[in-house]
Chain A
Amino acid sequence: MLALTTQSGRHPIASDRCAHAGFSAGRGLFGVGLAAVLLWLSSGVAVAQPTPVGTPEDEQANALFKELLKDPTNVDLNFRYAEAAVKLGNYEGAISALERLLLYNPNFPGVKLQLAELYAKLGSYAAARAYLEQVESAPDVTEETRARVQALRSQIARAASPSQFSVNMVSGLRHQTNVSAEPAGSDIVAGGIPLTLSSVMLHQPGWDAFLGGNVAHTYDLGGATLQSNALVYYSKQFHFASVDSAAVEVNSGPRFDIGGSGADKIVALRPYAVASEVLLGNSQFLSSAGAGLSADRAITARIGAAGFYEFRSEHFADNAAVPTATDMDASVHSIGANLSYQVLENGNLGLQASYAITHARRSFNSNDAFVMRASYTHSFQLPAEFGVGPLIVTPVLYRIYSWSAAADPAVDPSVIPVTMEWRVGVTGELGLTDNLAATAHVIREVIGSNLAVDRSTDTQVIIGLRLTY
């Protein structure tokens, strides 16, 4: 059997506390944690695209609008401006131009249908239906138009349903210079599963294939929204089956505003329940259940803040890779905060800090962990002739600390381990179609410790495809 090590690099992990600095630093927080596990995986649908100010498309739209101010009755200009505005996601601008045409001629071919589509894009379904009814009531409506109307009605019916699903899947290949069970492309949160699994390492290079996904469901309850997520991850190593990993988590809870609603709210809260299951080396490894509370609010139009607290009870199972895993049974308390700042029209700075306290069955498995993360996401609009885009680039920097509660007699009874880790990396994502993007991820990890065996390095290169629906 290959000797697994924790982040500390001790051999073999199967005979000792697998989670000293590594496992303990990364435990729990699956509710926030597995969501964070797949943060990179889900970022394609979770992050709203900023308005691409300063791009050729933006300049073209502005130029057309200036022309429009000089010649507002020019039909062609109005259509061209509407088209340019749509490309920028400025649906209101397009609506304004097309409704201007109706001011002069309510029968402009196709305009009401386009307006219905634009209102539908805004989520203003009643207004969209109002235009559709005008289209259908026309005496000269063609079969082709009726078909488009029907298609849009079906689309609106799905979108207007209080029950909404979204799916996000990423699949790809990864190379590691120091093979670990860490989920590919994962975000790292104190107490989170990615950090837990990252501590299981082999000190050998290798490849793996991975598949991750997130099915999100929301149900509009009126004054609140019930949000539920099912997250899955599976990684198959090409040569080291002992670090094959699989994870599934389900969390659910209502989200509601406090102190007003929409932009006026003081804060949005989401209490939730969470349960998860992790396999390591194709054997049961960790199950957990818990509850948490997350909160978020917009501080200004460009600054948003969020925070969470979570408690989780974790139960490990001894397996071939970690025979003493049950020693790590623990309760984990985690807190964290995020700050998001839109520094440019198409650039966003993210700052994140999280802290986890783990009380394990064995004191040397107990620890505190602290993670700081800084990232900057920039969206580049590529020239239209490229046929792809946008290109979203995110450099990221981590500083991770872990302090064990006691020395491990099996390793060095005189040293209470402390680890300090740097991670630096960059993620790139290129939109191929509306639902498909190519992704690439490179990250370098350097772990220092007061125990020599805990020191290690790793470089990961990940390529994959993201599918969203």
Chain B
Amino acid sequence: MAGFSCRVLLVVLSAGPGMGAANVAATAEPQGVGPTDRTSRELLIAHDSMRDEPIDTSGRGQVQLLFGDQSALSIAPGSGVVINDYLFDPQTQTGNLIATVTSGLLRYVGGEISRQQDVLFYTPGAVVSVRGGIVLIKTERTAGAARTEGLFLSGDRMCVTANGQSQCTTKFATAITSEGGAPPSAPVAVTTEAIQALFSNLQAAGGGAN
């Protein structure tokens, strides 16, 4: 997979009631995301390869990163994510995805890679591994201590590892939490309201209907 082309397409959309028309800018090179207003939405396309690509949505709108293996990463405003390593071979339908979530909230919807192997998300003090399916990962700092919460929505399993210990879940709508680098909690059920609140942070502002 060393010969993969490194093509990253950045699409920046202005705020608006619909999508698809106005002010679309695209480039074939990786770009940092410049400051925009709070309601902007951005789409990054990673075809086959991406390495050490920072995505900072501090004070800005949502971002979705669409990968060539048909997986997607939605990142809420005020988040910091680095794609440490992404490789995908369309011929063998195999690859690798490792990312770091420094802060904020993301939703990962798995594709071909996560069907074959674990996808890893490093957070301050923990590692969240995902096989298949859909997860929400939230990281924050409270009183100086890092807190990581992995919420498993579907798929084969999600594990959280911290301080040398792991907790895994295969039950949908359960969460595993690690605080201050302490060993992760046992999986606990998550309410519909909690999921709804997190979903709302991953949608354009002003939503609700339909």
Interface residues of A (CB under 8 A from B): 65, 68-69, 72-75, 90, 92-93, 95-96, 99-113, 119, 122-127, 129-131, 133-135, 137-141, 145, 260-264, 301
Indicate which residue in B43, B62, B134 contacts A95 across the interface (CB closer than 8 Å). B134
Q: How far is the CA of A300 from the CA of B4 in the complex (A)?
A: 28
B192, CB-defined interface residue at 8 Å:
yes
Query: Is A264 in contact with B157, judged by CB distance below 8 angstroms?
Result: yes
Query: Is A105 in contact with B19, judged by CB distance below 8 angstroms?
Result: yes
B111, CB-defined interface residue at 8 Å:
yes
* CB-nearest residue of chain B to A102: B203
Query: Is B157 in contact with A263, judged by CB distance below 8 angstroms?
Result: yes
B63 nearest CB across to chain A (Å): 8
Query: Is A99 in contact with B74, judged by CB distance below 8 angstroms?
Result: yes
B210, CB-defined interface residue at 8 Å:
yes
* Partner-contacting stretch, out of B10-18, B78-86, B140-148: B10-18
Q: Which residues of B lie under 8 Å from residue A99 when comparing CB positions?
A: 64, 72, 74, 107, 109, 202
Q: How far is the CA of A261 from the CA of B41 in the complex (A)?
A: 39
Q: A99-B109, A134-B199 are in contact. Are A127 and B153 (CB under 8 A)?
A: yes
Query: Is A134 in contact with B196, judged by CB distance below 8 angstroms?
Result: yes
Listed residue (A75, A103, A119, A133) with the most chain B CB atoms within 10 angstroms of its CB: A103
Q: What are 14 residue pairs bridging A and B, where the CB atoms are less than 8 Å apart in the complex?
A: A69-B66, A72-B11, A73-B13, A75-B20, A96-B66, A99-B109, A102-B202, A105-B17, A106-B206, A127-B153, A134-B208, A135-B209, A262-B156, A263-B131
B28 nearest CB across to chain A (Å): 11
A141 nearest CB across to chain B (Å): 7
Q: How far is the CA of A100 from the CA of B63 in the complex (A)?
A: 9
Q: How far is the CA of A193 from the CA of B192 in the complex (A)?
A: 48
* CB-nearest residue of chain B to A110: B210
* Partner-contacting stretch, out of B29-37, B120-128, B166-174, B176-184: B166-174
Q: Which residues of B lie under 8 Å from residue A101 when comparing CB positions?
A: 19
A369 nearest CB across to chain B (Å): 38
Query: Is B203 in contact with A69, judged by CB distance below 8 angstroms?
Result: no
Indicate which residue in B70, B110, B191, B207 contacts A65 across the interface (CB closer than 8 Å). B70
Q: Which residues of A lie under 8 Å from residue B202 when comparing CB positions?
A: 99, 102-103
Q: Give the total number of A-B pairs whose CB atoms are below 8 A apart.
A: 171
Indicate which residue in A92, A104, A137, A261 contacts B154 across the interface (CB closer than 8 Å). A92
Query: Is B157 in contact with A130, judged by CB distance below 8 angstroms?
Result: no
Query: Is A96 in contact with B116, judged by CB distance below 8 angstroms?
Result: no
* CB-nearest residue of chain B to A262: B170
Q: How far is the CA of A137 from the CA of B19 in the complex (A)?
A: 23
Query: Is A126 in contact with B195, judged by CB distance below 8 angstroms?
Result: yes
Query: Is B109 in contact with A92, judged by CB distance below 8 angstroms?
Result: yes
* CB-nearest residue of chain B to A69: B45
* CB-nearest residue of chain B to A71: B20
Interface residues of B in 1-53 (CB under 8 A from A): 9, 11, 13, 16-20, 24, 41, 43, 45, 47
Q: Which residues of B lie under 8 Å from residue A139 when comparing CB positions?
A: 208-209
Known A75-B20, A103-B204; 15 more pairs at CB < 8 Å: A68-B66, A69-B68, A72-B45, A74-B20, A75-B18, A75-B19, A99-B202, A110-B210, A119-B153, A124-B173, A125-B172, A126-B190, A131-B196, A137-B208, A139-B208
Q: Which residues of A lie under 8 Å from residue B115 when comparing CB positions?
A: 301
B71, CB-defined interface residue at 8 Å:
yes
B133, CB-defined interface residue at 8 Å:
yes
Interface residues of B (CB under 8 A from A): 9, 11, 13, 16-20, 24, 41, 43, 45, 47, 62, 64, 66, 68, 70-72, 74, 107, 109-111, 115-116, 131-134, 153-154, 156-157, 168, 170, 172-173, 190-193, 195-196, 199-200, 202-210
Query: Is A261 in contact with B203, judged by CB distance below 8 angstroms?
Result: no
Query: Is B154 in contact with A73, judged by CB distance below 8 angstroms?
Result: no
Query: Is B116 in contact with A124, judged by CB distance below 8 angstroms?
Result: no
* CB-nearest residue of chain B to A53: B93
Q: Which residues of B lie under 8 Å from residue A74 when comparing CB positions?
A: 20
Q: Which residues of A lie under 8 Å from residue B9 when comparing CB positions?
A: 69
B130 nearest CB across to chain A (Å): 12
Query: Is B154 in contact with A107, judged by CB distance below 8 angstroms?
Result: no
Q: Which residues of A lie under 8 Å from residue B191 when comparing CB positions?
A: 126
Query: Is B210 in contact with A100, judged by CB distance below 8 angstroms?
Result: no
B133 nearest CB across to chain A (Å): 7
Q: How far is the CA of A264 from the CA of B45 in the complex (A)?
A: 32
Q: How far is the CA of A111 from the CA of B199 in the complex (A)?
A: 14
Q: Which residues of A lie under 8 Å from residue B199 when comparing CB positions?
A: 127, 130-131, 134
A129 nearest CB across to chain B (Å): 4
Q: How far is the CA of A427 from the CA of B156 in the complex (A)?
A: 32
Q: How far is the CA of A95 from the CA of B155 in the complex (A)?
A: 13
Q: Which residues of A lie under 8 Å from residue B68 when comparing CB positions?
A: 69
Query: Is A127 in contact with B66, judged by CB distance below 8 angstroms?
Result: no
Q: How far is the CA of A210 from the CA of B41 in the complex (A)?
A: 61
Query: Is A69 in contact with B153, judged by CB distance below 8 angstroms?
Result: no
* CB-nearest residue of chain A to B18: A105
A150 nearest CB across to chain B (Å): 15
Q: How far is the CA of A249 from the CA of B110 in the complex (A)?
A: 42
Query: Is B192 in contact with A130, judged by CB distance below 8 angstroms?
Result: yes
Query: Is A73 in contact with B20, judged by CB distance below 8 angstroms?
Result: yes
B121 nearest CB across to chain A (Å): 17
Listed residue (B17, B45, B132, B199) with the most chain A CB atoms within 10 angstroms of its CB: B199
Q: Which residues of A lie under 8 Å from residue B195 when comparing CB positions?
A: 126-127, 129-130
B188 nearest CB across to chain A (Å): 12
Q: Which residues of A lie under 8 Å from residue B209 when comparing CB positions?
A: 106-107, 112, 134-135, 138-141
* CB-nearest residue of chain B to A104: B19
A273 nearest CB across to chain B (Å): 27
Q: How far is the CA of A138 from the CA of B72 in the complex (A)?
A: 27
Query: Is A126 in contact with B172, judged by CB distance below 8 angstroms?
Result: yes
Q: How far is the CA of A421 from the CA of B18 in the complex (A)?
A: 69
Q: How far is the CA of A101 from the CA of B64 in the complex (A)?
A: 10
* CB-nearest residue of chain A to B71: A96
Q: How far is the CA of A137 from the CA of B194 in the complex (A)?
A: 16
Query: Is A123 in contact with B207, judged by CB distance below 8 angstroms?
Result: no
Query: Is A261 in contact with B170, judged by CB distance below 8 angstroms?
Result: yes
